[in-house]
Structure 1
Amino acid sequence: MKKAFLVKLAALGLSLSAAMSAQAQRDFSKVEIKSEPVAENLYMLTGLGGNIGLFVGEDGAFMVDDQFAPLSEKILAEVAKLTDKPLRFVINTHWHGDHTGGNENMGKAGALIVAHENVRKRMSTEQFTKLWDRTTPPAPADALPVITFTDATTFYWNGDEVRVQHVGPAHTDGDSIIHFKNANVVHMGDTFFNGSYPYIDISAGGVLDGVIENARKVIEMSDDNTRIIPGHGPLTDKKGLQSYHDLLVKLKGNIKALVDKGMSKEEVIAANPTKEFDEKYGQGFMKPDVWTGIVYDSIKQQ
């Protein structure tokens, strides 16, 4: 039975690699960039990759994340529909390419790239992701953040107070959330996958408890009118984030109970501790078996 399970797991790994390869070869010409109003002068842009936040006003455009390089022209065209002011800043919520791939192009368009210091460290050196057995080469020098911070930084921009806060190890070790105080909007980057199991990049310092704790803190600072932009998935609110938090707490409990019994990673995955929620949350990028394995590893490393 163990042999059959390992064969199944190997096949799953191959299918995931094939899916990632197909995405890498995707025809970006077919991707449409769409904007959705979030608050006054604040939008969520979607296309392929992480959700983009865009804040416009007299001081200029302020962007959170920038998806993939081949989409930069389309993204800038969408920005031009929403403001005639120049793009002045791009904030990277973390280092992954679906959030930072456009950095070089946005920098050439006049934007200053800002991120936590760990984002620059990871982008400037070769990264190996054990889960996918994949090596990511260093980003070009022109794609690296030119301004970094250690804990937090605040922009007084377009009449708002915009706080960029490092949240500690969560999705990675360089995650930041962006709080638009007056607009009552929070962009959570990939610490929040709305509608699917979240990817936790353990190879880049990610840890499940950090994701849960960050969700709790954002819930605490939110009210019933707060709008929340996730790294992936639809725009939501405090109630939507609470559901995500509660899901992660429950599933961690399910998986930890099996770990505490001394079960191996293969045995925990085979027990299918997420089955109650797989139909709703396990149909996207993070398949249940893979996600359960990530949670197992996250629990064991602590």
Structure 2
Amino acid sequence: MTARKTLCAAALAGILLTTNAAAQGETDVKIETIPVADGIYMLIGRGGNLGVCAGDEGVLLIDDQYAPLAPKIRDAVAAIEDQPIKMVLNTHWHGDHTGGNEPLARTGSLIVAHDNVRVRMSSKHFSKFFNSTREPSPREALPVVTFDSQVTFHVNGHTVRAEHVPPAHTDGDSIVFFEEANVVHMGDTFFNGLYPFVDGDSGGSVIGMVAAVEGVLARIDDETKVIPGHGPLSDRAGLAEFAGMLRTVAGRIGQRIEAGDSLDAVVAAKPTAEYDERWGQGFIKPDDWVGLVYDVMSMNR
């Protein structure tokens, strides 16, 4: 691993793999509430964006960021609807989406996720990209209800359907459709305005991420509100822009891999040049992202 890539990996490991925001010096996080539709909200703090389905039947929470933020998340939810967080659905296993599982479970929340989320959280995980090891999560943090292909929640007058997609960001991704509200929570299959992390060490696939996003685009319309895993609230046009960028870059890098080009040669070719101003200002910089895509696509050949 190069020095450049080592720095990127270390930063990302802190963001994505840890379950503890305090470990990152982020104890003063504020939770912002964004109304999305009637009874549906997005919460922004540190880590993945949260979805909230609120009403007098209790709250369904999509993802839960980090353990130290659980009290602030509870307060933000209570300001929307003074009801308990009855259920938490994890869109995938990374710590910035599951770190709050343990404190929320201890106060009665039922944790739900795809089968592979529980498997990965239950196991010691070594990431070659990060060159780091994540210990198994505590038993209390693990999902107690898991599913294979999909699960449907009927709560607060909403039909909320979580559907597992083939390997994309990881091998345990779920995309969540709020059917009557015309809202979709993409988890980390969509990074809005950022080059996305694809976790090849957790079974992720760049081509699979393209397929997952294109599958959603075929099902939604111009009025759909799209909650990304990271970045601001979006819509169908924003998701389509992301898909176009991802498809184009994956195609370019894939062709160079097939031609036998080295990583250094592909990075030097600047296959993301026209996208860097729009997508390359986040926590993964352009050359780092080219290296990540190259490595994951090579791994998946």
TM range (shorter): over 0.9
Q: Contact 1:54–1:63 at 8 Å: present in 2 too?
A: yes
Match of 1:180 among 178, 181, 185: 178
Matched residues, number: 294
Match of 1:281 among 279, 282, 294: 279
CA deviation after TM superposition for structure 1 residue 203, in Å? 0.3
Quote the Cα distance in structure 2 between the aligned partners of 1:14 and 1:173. 24
Quote the Cα distance in structure 2 between the aligned partners of 1:96 and 1:21. 10
Structure with max Cα Rg = 1
Quote the Cα distance in structure 2 between the aligned partners of 1:157 and 1:22. 35
Q: Contact 2:10–2:130 at 8 Å: present in 1 too?
A: no
Quote the Cα distance in structure 2 between the aligned partners of 1:206 and 1:36. 29
Percent identical residues? 49
Report the CA distance shift for 1:249/1:13 in structure 2 as closer, same or farther (over 3 A).
Answer: closer
Q: Which runs of 5+ in 2 are unaligned?
A: 16-20
Match of 2:60 among 54, 59, 62: 62
Paired AA for residue 134 in structure 2: T
Report the CA distance shift for 1:226/1:136 in structure 2 as closer, same or farther (over 3 A).
Answer: same
After TM superposition, the structure 1 stretch with the greater mean CA deviation from structure 2, 166-175 or 276-285, is: 276-285
Quote the Cα distance in structure 1 between the aligned partners of 2:176 and 2:12. 28
Quote the Cα distance in structure 2 between the aligned partners of 1:193 and 1:287. 14
Match of 1:243 among 241, 244, 254: 241
Report the CA distance shift for 1:220/1:103 in structure 2 as closer, same or farther (over 3 A).
Answer: same
After TM superposition, the structure 1 stretch with the greater mean CA deviation from structure 2, 97-106 or 289-298, is: 289-298
Match of 1:11 among 3, 27, 30: 3
CA-to-aligned-CA distance 1:55-114 (integer Å, 9 cap, x gap): 101211000000011111111011111111111000000000000000001111211000
Paired AA for residue 132 in structure 1: F
After TM superposition, the structure 1 stretch with the greater mean CA deviation from structure 2, 127-136 or 113-122, is: 127-136
CA deviation after TM superposition for structure 1 residue 151, in Å? 0.5
What TM-score results when the alignment is normalised by the length of structure 2? 0.94
CA deviation after TM superposition for structure 1 residue 21, in Å? 7.5
Quote the Cα distance in structure 2 between the aligned partners of 1:81 and 1:215. 32
Task: Determine helix, strand or coil for the equivalent of 1:257.
Answer: helix
Quote the Cα distance in structure 2 between the aligned partners of 1:102 and 1:275. 37
CA deviation after TM superposition for structure 1 residue 14, in Å? 4.0
Report the CA distance shift for 1:161/1:22 in structure 2 as closer, same or farther (over 3 A).
Answer: closer
Q: 1:264 corresponds to which residue?
A: 262
CA-to-aligned-CA distance 1:233-284 (integer Å, 9 cap, x gap): 0000001000000111111122123223221122212222112211221121
Q: 2:28 corresponds to which residue?
A: 30
Paired AA for residue 16 in structure 1: C
Task: Determine helix, strand or coil for the equivalent of 2:151.
Answer: strand
Q: 2:212 corresponds to which residue?
A: 214
After TM superposition, the structure 1 stretch with the greater mean CA deviation from structure 2, 124-133 or 289-298, is: 289-298
Match of 2:105 among 98, 104, 107: 107
Report the CA distance shift for 1:216/1:26 in structure 2 as closer, same or farther (over 3 A).
Answer: same
Q: Contact 1:28–1:70 at 8 Å: present in 2 too?
A: no
Task: Determine helix, strand or coil for the equivalent of 1:29.
Answer: coil
Paired AA for residue 96 in structure 1: H
Quote the Cα distance in structure 1 between the aligned partners of 2:185 and 2:141. 22
CA deviation after TM superposition for structure 1 residue 17, in Å? 5.0
CA-to-aligned-CA distance 1:183-209 (integer Å, 9 cap, x gap): 110000000000011100000000011
Query: Taking CA–CA contacts closer than 8 Å with sequence separation of 6 or more, which of the two structures ends up with the larger relative contact order?
Result: 2
Quote the Cα distance in structure 1 between the aligned partners of 2:244 and 2:26. 36
CA-to-aligned-CA distance 1:17-43 (integer Å, 9 cap, x gap): 553577663333311001000000110
CA deviation after TM superposition for structure 1 residue 224, in Å? 1.1
What TM-score results when the alignment is normalised by the length of structure 1? 0.94
Q: 1:155 corresponds to which residue?
A: 153
Task: Determine helix, strand or coil for the equivalent of 1:221.
Answer: coil
Report the CA distance shift for 1:254/1:132 in structure 2 as closer, same or farther (over 3 A).
Answer: same
Paired AA for residue 48 in structure 1: R
CA deviation after TM superposition for structure 1 residue 290, in Å? 2.0
Quote the Cα distance in structure 1 between the aligned partners of 2:102 and 2:28. 22
Task: Determine helix, strand or coil for the equivalent of 1:105.
Answer: helix
Q: 2:18 corresponds to which residue?
A: none
